[in-house]
């Protein structure tokens, strides 16, 4: 059960069940849907931009614990970052999920998703939000 | 009663230990496992008979052609077709349905014609008809389910009597709900209204005695891999009187009579429907799958699936956080149960069960219109076959209780 402990840790469950980022923004600058057609994870990411800076980030949608927690963690992480910084974090996260050696500290809560790399069937759940963000900034 | 222990012994893959646990394989509606008899037949074909079919006059080519034709005869007997000309080998049920859509469909369905489907169809029995409808200006009409999650036959009767129906394409059994559709009545009503009928038999061929003569359907499609056979071999049955009405699908080698620079004539059925070198080892493996199934008996298989379904349902209705989809009893259905665990996404349920060695499917099961109709994005699906038993159902139910430990 230790593997599952990693996958469904308290912090992941907290983001899944009670995310403050699960809301709609008033007048978002960018709104983008991302979904995994095969398993049905479906999110809409909303960003409020101030020039180059992501002032606010939120999401709505439905999906598994991993996809939803990952989206929430990403929203936390990118608030206040400029596009370049955000893209760098996306790259770092993707590298982590693909088991590459990265400095995890910068990823904040999202570093707990490292365990997903041991569940190949769940990798795309964890990546959904990050790939969606990568497309729009 | 099936001798489950003896059957289990025939399936080497069932000895796999996922994550150190005993494998409980409940994903049979996706594909069944293969008995040693089938695995060895495929190897045997390459060890003893391999050569290209129909072409060369040498010893091995004769054996290969005989193996392939033996498979056609075996399928003909298995589904009681009148003639082996009606048996066309394809890759799978999906290809069989596409075959009819692209050939008979594009030739005979025209503007204003109606194609009737059910809301529970697999995407492979929806998309080909959307293609025909779009290209030809035809219309799709869906028949829905009644309160017991079974096909609403009254709605079907109303739909067919509205006229202009050229084709009824309907699954024999649902890959999500397990319901067995009243295809006898559907075929009869369709024919009386001048429509042809295609039956998607992907989920009925593993567990029901199919008699295409008695059914009277025009087309019957199924896959070998869902009935213990190899992947990549499927069957399309075309009723004898329609053989000349169905143009070739793919063209090239093997399917010709004479080829000139600017035109060609075709071989008689079924060869005109099978262009290129076919999947001979798959067809040969399918013979052994048919023998295995017939050795157990299709009536016994369905009865076994229903016993397990009834047993599982009786346990699952007791759990208040499990929501079941489909009829509330095991009558007139195959061994498929779809459900959700309250507040837990099906993908998470499947991952947690997998850690216990239990293989189930989660997702939309290639049935998005049905999911939308049921009002859910996805479900978990457990599907049983001949090597499953009640102790596995018990372990599965215990596993579901574990799921809740992670999601409070």
Of B19, B345, B364, nearest to A63 by CB-CB distance is B345
Residue A24 and residue A45: Cα distance in Å, rounded?
9
Report pLDDT digits (tens) over B68-90. 999 999 999 999 999 999 999 99
pLDDT (average), residues A93-121: 92
Report pLDDT digits (tens) over A74-86. 999 999 999 999 9
Residues of B in contact with A40 (CB under 8 A): 346-347, 363-364, 371, 377-378
Residues of A in contact with B363 (CB under 8 A): 38-40
**pLDDT reported for residue B303:** 98
Residues making up chain B, counted from first to last = 408
| Burial class (CB within 10 angstroms; exposed 0-12, middle 13-18, buried 19+) of A133 | buried
Q: Percent of chain A beyond pLDDT 70?
A: 99
For residue B282, give how far its alpha carbon lies from the nearest alpha carbon of chain A (Å): 27
For residue B155, give how far its alpha carbon lies from the nearest alpha carbon of chain A (Å): 30
**pLDDT reported for residue B406:** 87
A39 touches chain B (CB under 8 A): yes
Statement: residue B340 has pLDDT above 90: yes
Statement: residue A2 has pLDDT above 70: no
Statement: residue A1 has pLDDT above 60: no
- Count of pairs with CB atoms under 8 A, one residue in A, one in B: 49
Q: Read off the tokens for B135.
A: 């290209």
Sign of the torsion angle spanned by Cα atoms B121, B105, B186, B299: negative
Q: Do B406 and A122 touch (CB under 8 A)?
A: no
**pLDDT reported for residue B229:** 98
Query: In the 3-class helix/strand/coil scheme, how is chain B assigned residue by residue?
Result: CCCHHHHHHCCHHHHCCHHHCCCEECECCCCCCCCHHHHHHHHHHHHHHCCCCCCCCCHHHHHHHHHHHHHHHHHHHHCCCCCHHHEEEECCHHHHHHHHHHHHHHHHCCCCCEEEEECCCCHHHCHHHHHHHHHHCCEEEEECECCCCCECHHHHHHHHHCCCEEEEEEECECCCCCEECCHHHHHHHHHHCCCEEEEECCCCCCCCCCCHHHHCCCEEEEECHHHCCCCCCEEEEECHHHCCCCCCCCCCCCCEEEECCCCEEECCCCHHHCCCCCCHHHHHHHHHHHHHHHHHCHHHHHHHHHHHHHHHHHHHCCCCCEEEECCCCCCCECCEEEEEECCECHHHHHHHHHHCCEECEEECCCCHHHHHHHCCCCEEEEECCCCCCHHHHHHHHHHHHHHHHHCC
* DSSP assignment letter at A87: H
Of A4, A13, A62, nearest to B355 by CB-CB distance is A4
Q: B104: left (phi > 0), else alpha (psi -120 to 50), else beta?
A: alpha
B349 touches chain A (CB under 8 A): no
Rounded mean pLDDT of chain B? Answer: 97
Catalytic residue check, B366 = yes
Q: Do B347 and A63 touch (CB under 8 A)?
A: yes
B378 touches chain A (CB under 8 A): yes
B347 touches chain A (CB under 8 A): yes
**pLDDT reported for residue A40:** 81
Q: A28: left (phi > 0), else alpha (psi -120 to 50), else beta?
A: beta
Of A3, A8, A40, nearest to B364 by CB-CB distance is A40
Sequence-separated (6 or more) residues with CB below 8 Å from residue B79: B205, B210, B211, B212, B220, B235, B237
**pLDDT reported for residue A33:** 97
Residues of A in contact with B344 (CB under 8 A): 65
Q: Read off the tokens for B39.
A: 């695995």
Nearest-Cα residue of chain B relative to residue A14: B407
Of B345, B355, B364, nearest to A64 by CB-CB distance is B345
Chain A interface test: which of B18, B347, B360 (most A C-beta within 10 Å): B347
Statement: residue B27 has pLDDT above 70: yes
Q: Do A1 and B19 touch (CB under 8 A)?
A: no
Nearest-Cα residue of chain B relative to residue A120: B351
**pLDDT reported for residue B394:** 98
Q: Percent of chain B beyond pLDDT 90?
A: 96
Rg (CA), chain B: 22
Report pLDDT digits (tens) over B234-285. 999 999 999 999 999 999 998 999 999 999 999 999 999 999 999 999 999 9
**pLDDT reported for residue A39:** 77
Statement: residue A7 has pLDDT above 80: yes
Statement: residue B134 has pLDDT above 80: yes
pLDDT (average), residues B326-355: 95
Nearest-Cα residue of chain B relative to residue A3: B355
Residue B193 and residue B116: Cα distance in Å, rounded?
12
Residue A32 and residue A82: Cα distance in Å, rounded?
18
Residue B381 and residue B387: Cα distance in Å, rounded?
17
**pLDDT reported for residue B55:** 86
* CB of B403 closer than 8 Å to CB of B349: yes
For residue B94, give how far its alpha carbon lies from the nearest alpha carbon of chain A (Å): 17
């Amino acid at each position: 059960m230790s593997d599952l402990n990693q996958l469904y840790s308290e912090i992941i469950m907290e983001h899944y069940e009670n995310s403050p980022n699960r809301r709609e923004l008033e007048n978002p600058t960018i709104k983008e849907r991302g979904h995994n057609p095969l398993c049905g994870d479906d999110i809409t990411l909303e960003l409020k931009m101030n020039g180059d800076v992501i002032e606010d980030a939120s999401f709505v949608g439905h999906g598994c614990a991993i996809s939803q927690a990952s989206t929430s963690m990403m929203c936390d992480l990118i608030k206040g970052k400029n596009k370049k910084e955000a893209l760098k974090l996306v790259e770092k996260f993707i590298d982590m999920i693909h088991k590459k050696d990265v400095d995890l500290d910068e990823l904040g809560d999202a570093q707990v998703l490292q365990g997903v790399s041991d569940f190949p069937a769940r990798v795309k759940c964890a990546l959904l939000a990050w790939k969606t963000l990568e497309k729009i900034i | 009663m099936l001798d489950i222990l003896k059957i289990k012994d025939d399936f080497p893959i069932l000895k796999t230990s996922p994550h150190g646990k005993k494998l409980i394989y409940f994903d049979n509606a996706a594909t069944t496992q293969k008995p040693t008899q089938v695995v060895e037949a495929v190897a045997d074909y390459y060890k003893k008979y391999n050569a290209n079919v129909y072409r060369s006059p040498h010893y091995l080519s004769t054996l290969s052609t005989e193996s392939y034709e033996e498979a056609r005869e075996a399928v003909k007997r298995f589904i009681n077709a009148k003639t082996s000309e009606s048996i066309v080998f394809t890759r799978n049920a999906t290809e069989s349905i596409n075959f009819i859509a692209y050939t008979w469909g594009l030739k005979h369905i025209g503007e204003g014609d109606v194609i009737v489907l059910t809301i529970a169809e697999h995407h492979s029995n929806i998309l080909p008809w959307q293609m025909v409808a779009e290209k030809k200006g035809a219309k799709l009409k869906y028949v829905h389910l009644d309160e017991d999650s079974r096909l609403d036959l009254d709605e079907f009767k109303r739909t067919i009597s509205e006229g202009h129906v050229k084709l009824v394409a309907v699954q024999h059994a649902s890959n999500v709900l397990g319901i067995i559709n009243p295809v006898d009545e559907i075929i009869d009503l369709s024919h009386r209204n001048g429509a042809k009928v295609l039956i998607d038999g992907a989920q009925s061929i593993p567990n029901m005695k199919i008699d295409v003569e008695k059914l009277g359907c025009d087309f019957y499609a199924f896959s070998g891999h869902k009935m213990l056979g190899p992947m990549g071999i499927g069957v399309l049955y075309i009723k004898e009187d329609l053989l000349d009405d169905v143009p070739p699908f793919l063209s090239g080698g093997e399917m010709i009579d004479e080829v000139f620079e600017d035109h060609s004539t075709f071989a008689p059925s079924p060869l005109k429907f099978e262009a290129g070198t076919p999947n001979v080892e798959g067809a040969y493996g399918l013979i052994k799958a048919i023998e295995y199934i017939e050795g157990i008996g299709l009536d016994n298989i369905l009865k076994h699936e229903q016993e397990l379904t009834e047993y599982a349902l009786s346990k699952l209705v007791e759990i208040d956080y499990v929501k079941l989809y489909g009829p509330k009893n095991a009558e007139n259905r195959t061994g498929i149960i779809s459900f959700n665990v309250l507040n837990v996404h099906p993908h998470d349920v499947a991952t947690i069960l997998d850690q216990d060695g239990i293989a189930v499917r989660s997702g939309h099961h290639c049935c998005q219109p049905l999911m939308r109709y049921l009002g859910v994005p996805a479900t978990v699906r457990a599907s049983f076959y001949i090597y499953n038993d009640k102790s596995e159902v018990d372990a599965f139910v215990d596993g579901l209780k574990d799921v809740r430990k992670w999601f409070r």
